[in-house]
Every structure is written in structure tokens, then in C-alpha cells.
């Protein structure tokens, strides 16, 4: 993973801290097959990726890659960067939060957690995996700007699907059917 610098407004500080945890913690915890799908892309990515964290954007997209870096501290090469190139993307986190990446799968998984104590935890994990998926999607666009959107989207949705499945598998293995009713109703 390249060095990710988060640019955000003061009012979005908590979201930026949460996004930082997504990059530092959640990336390391997704199944290795998910990370391996992005090995080549991340190896070719800019050494520094500036993420403009926004609540929403005018066009309604989840994120964009920027052709030119707009954040002034990173727009010109600096000796402090050690020769690393910079890329820039923006992510609209409120749009990502409401996005149904895989509607049928997510609804089915919601019902598994619905009556238990882990529904809130599951939704938080979904949001973090969506953020990570969008980040990787936009980094993919930075590295391969001419790759068709369908191909980039297929890769990022596969990442999201497999990362979420890995979380569900781990969650199921740690549940106590006595204390957590989430999986007490088997069909």
C-alpha cells in the first residue's frame, strides 16, 4: 500500500481517523487472496496517494482519480518525498456509506445478523470494506487510467465480496449461540 495522506475538513476529523484505521488495520486483516489481487496495482502505484475525503460530491460518484494533484503541498516534487510520485483521488464517504455494493448479498447477510447483537458491528465492517474497495478502485484508475471501467469495477467488487465473506466467516466462528442470537435461527 502506498503512503496515503488524508486531506479533509476540520469537521470531518473523526471520519478521517476512521479512514486511517481502515488503511492501517482493515487492509492487513482482509484475506490474503484479496490483498494479492491488488499486488501488481499497488506495486505500480504512486508512492504517495493523497485522498481528499469529502462528505458528498456534486456528480454523485463514490470517488474520482484526479489527473493532476490539486492539494498544493503535494502538487510539486519535494526533496522530502524522496523522489516518490504523488497521485490524488477523492472519496465521498456519505455516498460510500449509503452505497449498496452487492444488494442481494448484503440483504442476505443483514438477516443473519438481524436479531443478534452484532448487526451494528457488521454494518460498521461493511462501511469500512466499502471505503477500502473504493480506495483500491480509484488507485487502480491512477495506475491504469485506460483500463475499462467494467474491468476495474469487477475487480473492486470481487475484493469487497471476498473481504466481506472473510469477515462473516471469522464472525461466525467466534459467535456463541448461547449469548449471541445472530446465528441461532438456522434454516
For the stretch 12-39, pLDDT in tens is 788 888 888 888 899 998 999 999 999 9
**Three cell numbers at 71?**
492539494
Answer with the residue of higher pLDDT: 136 or 107. Answer: 136
Sequence-distant (6+) residues with CB within 8 A of 105 are: 161, 164
Chain centroid to CA 151 = 17
Residue 7: exposed, middle, or buried by beta-carbon count in 10 A (0-12, 13-18, 19+)?
middle
Task: Kindly state the DSSP code that residue 2 receives in the 8-state scheme.
Answer: -
Question: All 3 cell numbers of residue 140?
Answer: 487502480
Mean pLDDT for the stretch of residues 93-121:
72
Give yes or no for residue 176 having a pLDDT over 60.
Answer: no
Indicate the pLDDT class of residue 186, thresholds 50, 70 and 90.
very low
* H-type alpha helices, the chain: 13-21, 27-29, 32-36, 39-44, 93-98, 103-113, 119-143, 149-174
**Beta-sheet strand order (sheet of 48-54):** 3-7, 48-54, 86-92, 63-66
> Which domains, and CATH codes, for the chain?
3-183 (3.40.390)
| Interatomic CA distance for residues 117 and 104, integer angstroms | 22
Cβ–Cβ < 8 Å for 6, 91: no
How many separate helices (H) and strands (E) can be counted in the chain?
A: 8, 4
Strand pairing of 48-54 and 3-7? parallel
**Measured between alpha carbons, how far is residue 116 from residues 111, 183, 185, 186 in Å?**
10, 7, 10, 13
Q: What is the pLDDT of residues 132-161, one digit of tens each?
A: 999 999 999 989 999 999 999 999 999 999
Is residue 75 predicted with pLDDT exceeding 60? no
pLDDT at 178 (0 to 100): 45
The pTM for the full model equals: 0.80
Reference 7, options 123, 93, 115, 76; nearest CA is 93
Confidence (pLDDT) at 68: 60
Amino acid at each position: 500500500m502506498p503512503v496515503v495522506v488524508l486531506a479533509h475538513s476540520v469537521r470531518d476529523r473523526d471520519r478521517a481517523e476512521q479512514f486511517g484505521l481502515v488503511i492501517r488495520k482493515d487492509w492487513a486483516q482482509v484475506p490474503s487472496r484479496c490483498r494479492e489481487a491488488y499486488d501488481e496495482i499497488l506495486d505500480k502505484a504512486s508512492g504517495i496517494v493523497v485522498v481528499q475525503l469529502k462528505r458528498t460530491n456534486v456528480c454523485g460518484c463514490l470517488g474520482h482519480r484526479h489527473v493532476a494533484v490539486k492539494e498544493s503541498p503535494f502538487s510539486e516534487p519535494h526533496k522530502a518525498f524522496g523522489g516518490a510520485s504523488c497521485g490524488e483521488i477523492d472519496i465521498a464517504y456519505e455516498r460510500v456509506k449509503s452505497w449498496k455494493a452487492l444488494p442481494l448479498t448484503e440483504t442476505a447477510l443483514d438477516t443473519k445478523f438481524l436479531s443478534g447483537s452484532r448487526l451494528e458491528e457488521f454494518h460498521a465492517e461493511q462501511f469500512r470494506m466499502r471505503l477500502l474497495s473504493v480506495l483500491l478502485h480509484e488507485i487502480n484508475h491512477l495506475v491504469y487510467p485506460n483500463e475499462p471501467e467494467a474491468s476495474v469495477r469487477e475487480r473492486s467488487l470481487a475484493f469487497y465480496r471476498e473481504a466481506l465473506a472473510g469477515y462473516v466467516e471469522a464472525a461466525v466462528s467466534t459467535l456463541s449461540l448461547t449469548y449471541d442470537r445472530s446465528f441461532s435461527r438456522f434454516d
